[in-house]
Amino acid sequence: MRLCMMVAAAALLGAGAPAAAHGDGRAGGKLLLTNGVSTVEGASGGGISTWALIAGNETRDGIGASAHVSVAFLPDYRFQSHGVALGLWDRVELSYARQNLDTRDVGAALGIGRGTILSQDVYGAKLRLFGDAVFDSPWLPQVAVGVQHKRALDAPIAAAVGARDDRGTDVYVSATKLILRHSLLVGAAVRRTAANQTGLLGHGGAGGGAALQVEGSLGWQLSRRTVIGVEYRTKPDNLGFAREDDWATAYLAHALTPNVTATVAVVDLGSIATADDQRGVFLSLQGSF
C-alpha cells in the first residue's frame, strides 16, 4: 500500500500542471468513451487490459467517478466483479473492485465444496505521466503508471493450491492512443505480477514469482457511441496443480447515454484451476460522471 500512497501523493503534487485535454475543465467534458470502461480489476481500460485513461468524465479541473458491475458466464464457472473508481483532474485515478469466482462443480472436484465462491479485493491507483490519448500529438500516446494491491479473502485455499502468499501488488505502465484520423484506439501495458488467476488463487508458487506480463488492445470506433475491438493479456503460470493460460477477448462497447456504457464480449480464458476451455460471454455495465 505504501506504493499506492506514493502514486497518489505524486498525483497531488502534479495536479496543478496543465492537462492536455480540451474543454472548459469541468466534470463531464470528455468525449464519449474516452474514459474507457472498467476492467475486471476496477481500473479504467478494456475488460481485461488496463489503459492509460483516467476514470470519470472529468477534464483537467474536475473530479469524476465511475461504478461498474461485470459478469462472465463460463462453462464451469461464474465470474463477477463490481467496484468504483475516482478520477481527479484527469490526472490520477483511485479504484476499488471486489471479484467473486463461483467454482460450481469444480469446487467439489477440488475438495473445497461445490459452489464455493473465491473472492478478493483489489485496491488501485494510477497516475497519468504525460501525453493525451485524444488530443495534442497525433502519435504520442497517453502514458500512465499504476499499482493494484490484491487481497484474496480465502487464504487457506490459496495456500492449499500452492500459492506462496494470499496477497500481492501488481505494478504496471500503460500507453493508450486514439488515432482520430483512422478511428483506431491502440493500447499496450507491461505489468509485473505474481497473481494467480488475477490473485483469486493467491500469488506465486512452485512455478515462480513475480514476472513481467503484457496486455494489448485494438479498437475501432464505428461511431461516436460504439467501439469494437480485441484484447490479449499474458498470464503467469505459477501453480503446480493446474496450468494458467493467457486471456483473449473480442468486445463491443456502446455508450447508451453520456453517462452509461454497456460492454459485451466473447472471452477465452483458457484453463482455470483444472477446468479447460473456459470460453464464454462477458457483460458489463458502467455508470460515470
Q: What is the pLDDT of residues 199-242, one digit of tens each?
A: 999 999 988 889 999 999 999 999 989 999 999 999 999 999 99
CA distance 47 to 286: 11
Which single residue is written with the C-alpha cell 473530479? 63
pLDDT in tens, 162-207: 999 999 999 999 999 999 889 999 999 999 999 999 999 999 998 8
Domain-by-domain residue ranges, the chain? Answer: 2-288
* CA 278 to each of CA 170, 186, 203, 268: distance values in angstroms, whole numbers, following the listed order: 24, 26, 21, 6
Q: Rounded distance, CA 204 to CA 286, Å?
A: 32
Fold of 2-288: Porin (2.40.160)
Count Cβ atoms below 10 Å from residue 63 Cβ, excluding itself: 14
Coil, helix or strand for 14? helix
